[in-house]
Chain A
Amino acid sequence: EVQLVESGGGLVQPGESLGLACAASGFTFGNFWMSWVRQAPEKGLEWVANIKQDGSETRYVDSVKGRFTISRDNAQNSLYLQVNSLRVEDTAVYYCAREGFNSPLSFDFWGRGTLVTVSS
């Protein structure tokens, strides 16, 4: 059974940092692109970043470029998101998602998310 379990969220002040993690199991982690997708309270989903199977390519939504860093450790079956210089508008549930087996331009498995709250 595919499982994705996020951790690391919390309440921080503007300008502070957090490290999010996603533990993967039930599939060969190193075979898939992985993404972070976020959802602000009462809002729609927003793709944040993704990373290639071997970590050699990463992409980011413009609003987080230079502040967020996605990485992975295939030996530990883990995905990470370092979020720096946090802003109030970064407040959201952050989901770890696997880019699809049948179509890499969809997300076929999601974690339950970890909440990041940025407030003074």
Chain B
Amino acid sequence: QSALTQPRSVSGSPGQSVTISCTGTSSDVGGYNYVSWYQQYPGKAPKLMIYDVSKRPSGVPDRFSGSKSGNTASLTISGLQAEDEADYHCCSYAGRNTHVVFGGGTKVTVL
């Protein structure tokens, strides 16, 4: 069982918005502004999409946005495109001893 809780799947039609939640505790998500999100296609390496809750690396479309409220972080994909169909993993810093914890991953399906 993963430390952070994500829905197993979300879906949306092209052009719509979808939001993926990532729920932790005050010891991880709620305690630090160090949440990151990764996109992963089947059989491929993860790709960093969001870091420090809401910052986008160079090259990541601005359709991807991150936020946090209390112990729950969220990734929103606006203007959903077929190429966004992938697994998405959240990650949070959890203190010096634990370092980081991940969620179980969410499969995004574009209908």
Binding site for B on A (CB under 8 A): 37, 43-47, 50, 59, 61, 95, 100, 102-103, 105-113
Contacts and interface: CB of A to CB of B under 8 A. Distances in A.
A44 B105 contact: yes
Given A103-B34, A106-B91, A45 B51 contact: no
22 contacts: A44-B2, A44-B103, A45-B102, A47-B99, A47-B101, A47-B102, A50-B99, A59-B97, A95-B46, A100-B48, A102-B52, A102-B55, A102-B57, A103-B55, A105-B34, A105-B100, A106-B36, A106-B51, A107-B91, A108-B51, A112-B44, A112-B45
Given A45-B89, A102-B57, A107 B99 contact: no
Interface residues of B, number: 27
A81 to B, nearest CB: 15
A105 B105 CA distance: 18
Interface string B81-111: 0000000010101000111111111000000
A6 to B, nearest CB: 10
A103 B51 contact: yes
